[in-house]
Amino acid sequence: MPVKQILMGINGDEAVAYAAKHALVDVCAAYPITPQTIIVEKFAEFVANGEVETEFVRVESEHSALSACLGASAAGARTFTASAANGIELMHEVIFLTSSIRQPVIMAVADRSPSGPINIHGDQTVSLAQRDTGWIMIYCENSQEAYDSTLQAFRIGEHPDVQLPVMTMLDGFVLTHTLENVYLLNEADAHKFVGRRKPMMLTIEGKQVPLKLDPKTPITIGPLQLFDYYMETKLQHSEAMEKARPVITQINNEWAQLTGRKYGDGYLQPFKLSDADAVILTTGSSAGTARFVARQLRAQGKKVGLLKLRTFRPFPHKKIATLLADVPVVGIFERTHTTGSLGGPIFNEVRSALYDNNIHPTILGYYGGLGGRDVTPDHFTAIYKELLKIKQTGKTPRHPIKYITVRK
Amino acid sequence: MTERIIDLRFHGRGGQGAWTASILLARAAITEGKHAQSFPFFGPERSGAPVEAFARISNQEIELHSKVYEPDYVVVIDPTLLAQVPDTIVAGTNRKTKLIVNTREDGKTVAKDLGFKGEVWTLAATDLARELIGRPIANTAMLGALIRATNLVKLESLFVEVNQQFGERVGAKRSRHSTCI
Amino acid sequence: MPEKQPGSKDIPPAGVCWKPAKEYKTGDWRSKRPVRDEEKCTRCLTCWIFCPDAAISWDGKDIHFDLNYCKGCGICAEECPVKCIEMEDE
């Protein structure tokens, strides 16, 4: 039986702030940047009102923000920060460091276009560009999911088998500033779900030592490692990411029991895939718009489906290969800027996931919505029409990549 | 069967509370068990610049996340916008659209000047605001006018949200503001 | 109806604006304007140094506020050592 929850009308940023409050964050260091500012302002309000006991550290840049969180995390604190675009880019060095030192910092990313030209609106270029930094990455479809995924992130990242940082993405303005129906847990239920952070335990000379900066058990964190050990440490990191796979599903199931809300298997949410002739695969708020269109087209008897990708790291390559195995035509919509490649990150990882299958669907990549360019139901209707035509005629376009929502 | 979604667009200037108006409406709808969305659209973020805010209300979960292009109802909080940006005010409207305007003019004149084909409701909201709350902030009065014209939510639901937003003392004044329509 | 908007082939590369910023008169952004008491003013030029928009000029004889560009930020009034500048509603 799901617990009783509180219904509020709040936007994605506020939802994230509530999640951080409910997670009993020990230290928060953040620097403001549109469209993340509401997260930090709201959370600072909670701290100032004494609604949560957090050391709120005001810093002079995003590089310092994540550095402060990393340091606090290394000392055993549960930490949280948030940023966007240029801020993420500025802290990029520390993003690599945080995961390499196995610190479960939780960061909300208000997905905003990278400058230049200067733009404050939403697209996923910057977040997808972090895919090699070794963080767990979860994309949110709506303000409800912004709360749910951010709160889950603490459990996922801090899990004893995992110990990795997690970033949760919300599309700039489209989710950050969009008020929607959001159910929040009661504080007691939230605290019970999230528990307290336990540091990773090391066995050193027969003794259990926490991976934590503590004068009682002094250790060195973040040392130099040259060609003789660096790669071994990196392999441990890759293995930790693999260990995150069952944890994400487990937390998703636990959340479903607690709240009544389930996000597929935690990675992928299929909608009417089983007999679909054409499927769109996408992430974030666009998944909602595409599903809205899929429902309309199904009501007209068209055999279409929608596959929402929620967790991008670790990438659910096996499940995607299974789910798309029998789909004739797939259109992948990415809200990212690509240059010099055949398609963007999601397009390539999906194709790679399907490479070893005996039969492959026709896979096309659609690129649009950059710089906050609106992605409307009409755009998805047009994509579905194109995909269905390909299924019908068997004629595939010569080039699988198409730019939409743009004036050529 | 997809439930109908009602789309709204609010026009104001930065600092006049167009965004707040859309939030209050959305929250009022949510307390009534409906599903709602509210979001702003900024050009340059500065005081005095024309601002648009949007809302969607439905009896079913709203999955789509894109801008509103064909509003069912348009609310204009600042009368000077009618002359400055008439095209944005009538954009996407048709005969079925209801336009609710803060103005001292009558509806027929407003419709004619804008080339608007739908129904016009007018309220001298700034004057009313000065009278009732001593400040020329018309957004809560305009919400009252919107409810009168459309019955989109109950006035009582709006009061709860206004009180929560502005605190009991100011909220009570603002709520009286909405009822005097 | 607005005319067809230019596409990626029609606009200059890299988002470059083909006119200097001087062409964009930001004076209409103001909601308050600076008004200077010429008798109190000591011509120390502190306001001229601080104006972030370079909207204050000195012609060798007197100070001028260029209202074509002044955005009404009020920094001149704040920094003036003799407080001879008032910010008045537009």
Residue A398 belongs to domain with CATH number: 3.40.50.920
Beta B73-76 vs B50-58: how paired, if at all?
unpaired
Q: Among A253, A271, A270, which residue's Cα sits nearest to residue A262?
A: A253
Other C-beta atoms within 10 Å of A291: how many?
23
Per the prediction, chain B carries an average pLDDT of: 87
How many domains does one find in chain B? 1
Instruction: For residues A408 and A404, give the distance between their C-alpha atoms in angstroms, rounded to a whole number.
Output: 9
Query: What is the per-residue pLDDT for A339?
Result: 94
SS3 readout for A71-128: HHHHCCCCEEEEECHHHHHHCHHHHHHHHHCCCCCEEEEEECCCCCCCCCCCCCHHHH
Contact B36 A177 (CB under 8 A): no
Distance (Å, whole) CA A164 – CA A157: 5
- Report CB contact under 8 Å: A376, B37: no
Tens of pLDDT, residue by residue, chain A (408 residues): 899 999 999 999 999 999 999 999 999 999 999 999 999 999 999 999 999 999 999 999 999 999 999 999 999 999 999 999 999 999 999 999 999 999 999 999 999 999 989 999 999 999 999 999 999 999 999 999 999 999 999 999 999 999 999 999 999 999 999 999 999 999 999 999 999 999 999 998 899 999 999 999 999 999 999 999 999 999 999 999 999 999 999 999 999 999 999 999 999 999 999 999 999 999 999 999 999 999 999 999 999 999 999 999 999 999 999 999 999 999 999 999 999 999 999 999 999 999 999 889 999 999 999 999 999 999 999 999 999 999 999 999 999 999 999 998
- C41 domain residue, yes or no: yes
Which residue bears the tokens 């617990």?
A3
Both A321 and A189 in one domain: the answer is: no
Note the Cα C70 to chain centre separation in Å.
3
Q: Is B181 within 8 Å of B145 (Cβ atoms)?
A: yes
Output the domain CATH number for residue A186. 3.40.50.970
Residue C39, domain member (yes or no): yes
Tell me: pLDDT of B31 over 50: yes
Domain span holding position B151: 5-179
Are the C-beta atoms of residues B136 and B126 closer than 8 Å to each other?
A: yes
So what's the pLDDT on residue B181?
45
Chain A residues within 8 A of B35 when measuring between CB atoms: 180-181
Domain interval for residue C33? 27-89
Is A213 among the domain residues? no
Q: Pick from B13, B16, B45, B46 the residue to mutate for testing the C interface (most C CBs within 10 Å).
A: B46
Chain A environment of C8 (Cβ under 8 Å)? 406-408
Q: How many domains does chain A have?
A: 2
Q: Are strands A362-367 and A311-313 parallel, antiparallel or unpaired?
A: unpaired
C61 located within any domain: yes
Residues of A in Cβ contact (< 8 Å) with C15 = 116-117
For residue A349, the enclosing domain spans 268-403
Is the minimum CB–CB distance between B45 and chain C shorter than 8 Å?
no
Determine the Cα–Cα distance for residues A315 and A309; give it in Å rounded to an integer: 9
Q: Is C17 near chain A, with CB under 8 Å?
A: no
* Sign of the four-CA dihedral B118, B153, A296, A146: positive
For tokens 């006035």, name the residue.
B155
Residues A298, A176 share a domain? no
Q: Are residues A252 and A303 in the same domain?
A: no
Extract the tokens encoding C4: 């067809």
Q: Which helix (H) or strand (E) holds A179?
A: strand A179-185
For residue B87, list chain C residues with Cβ-Cβ distance below 8 A: 2
Cross-chain residue pair C14–A116, CB shorter than 8 Å:
yes
Whether A9 and A39 share a structural domain: yes
Bridge partners, A332 (sequence order): A281, A365
The dihedral formed by the CA atoms of A148, A94, A338 and A316, expressed in degrees to the nearest 10: -40
Q: Confidence band (pLDDT; 50, 70, 90) for B45?
A: low
Give the Cβ contact number of residue B91 at 10 Å: 14
Residue of C5, C8, C17 to mutate when probing chain A, most A C-beta within 10 A: C8
Which SS3 state, helix, strand or coil, does residue A146 take?
A: helix
CATH of the domain at C45: 3.30.70.20
Residue of A nearest to C5 (CA): A407
The answer for residues whose C-beta is within 8 angstroms of residue A77's C-beta and 6 or more apart is A26, A27, A55, A197
* C2–A contact, CB cutoff 8 A: no
Helices and strands (H and E) in chain B: how many: 7, 6
How many Cα atoms occupy the beta-carbon half-sphere of A265 within 13 Å?
13
pLDDT at site A24: 97
The helix (run of H) or strand (run of E) holding residue A166 is strand A166-171
Work out the average pLDDT over B54-80. Answer: 95
> What is the residue type of A394?
G
* Chain C residues close to A117, C-beta within 8 Å: 14-15
How many other CB atoms are found less than 10 A from the CB of residue A395?
A: 9
In a domain, C81, yes or no: yes
Give the CA distances from residue B145 to residues A186, B101, B122, B180, C43, in Å, rounded to whole numbers and listed in that order. 36, 9, 8, 9, 54
**Half-sphere exposure of residue A62, counting CA atoms within 13 Å on the CB side?**
24
Q: Is there a domain that residue A12 lies in?
A: yes
β-pairing verdict for A401-403 and A362-367: parallel
Residue among B39, B45, B66 whose CB faces A179 most closely: B39
CATH of the domain at B166: 3.40.920.10
Q: Which regions of A260-399 does DSSP assign to beta strands (E)?
A: 268-271, 278-282, 304-309, 311-313, 329-334, 362-367
A212 in a structural domain: no
Minimal Cα distance from A407: which residue of C? C7
A269 HSE (CA, 13 A, CB side): 21
- pLDDT-derived band at B131 (thresholds 50, 70, 90) equals confident
User: B133, B135, B89: which is closest to B113 by C-alpha?
Assistant: B89
Residue B166: predicted pLDDT: 76
3-class DSSP state of A64:
helix
Question: Residue A223: CB partners within 8 Å, gap ≥ 6?
Answer: none
Tell me how far apart the terminal alpha carbons of chain C are, to the nearest angstrom: 33
Whether residues A282 and A253 fall in one domain = no
Token couple for A76: 């055993």
Q: What is the pLDDT of residue A274?
A: 92
pLDDT at B143: 93
Gyration radius of chain A over CA positions: 21
Instruction: Please provide residue A373's backbone torsions phi and psi, each rounded to the nearest 5 degrees.
Output: -60, 125
Show which of residues 55-84 on chain C sit within 8 Å of chain A, judged by CB atoms: none
Backbone angles phi, psi at C17, to 5 degrees: -90, 130
Is residue A379 domain-resident?
Answer: yes
Q: Name all chains with 3 or more CB-CB pairs below 8 Å to chain C.
A: A, B
* Beta-carbon separation of A407 and C14 below 8 A: no
Task: Give the residue, B98 or B176, on which the prediction is more confident.
Answer: B98
pTM of the predicted protein model:
0.93
Query: CA–CA separation, A28 vs A16, rounded Å?
Result: 13
Q: What is the pLDDT at residue B172?
A: 62
Kindly state whether residue A351 falls inside one of the protein's structural domains: yes
pLDDT of residue A351: 96
With a cut of 50, say whether residue C1 has pLDDT above it.
no
Give C89's pLDDT tier (boundaries 50, 70, 90): confident
Task: Provide the pairing of β-strand B98-102 with B73-76.
Answer: parallel
Q: Are residues A245 and A286 in the same domain?
A: no
Q: Are residues A103 and A163 in the same domain?
A: yes
- Token readout for B94 is 């048709």
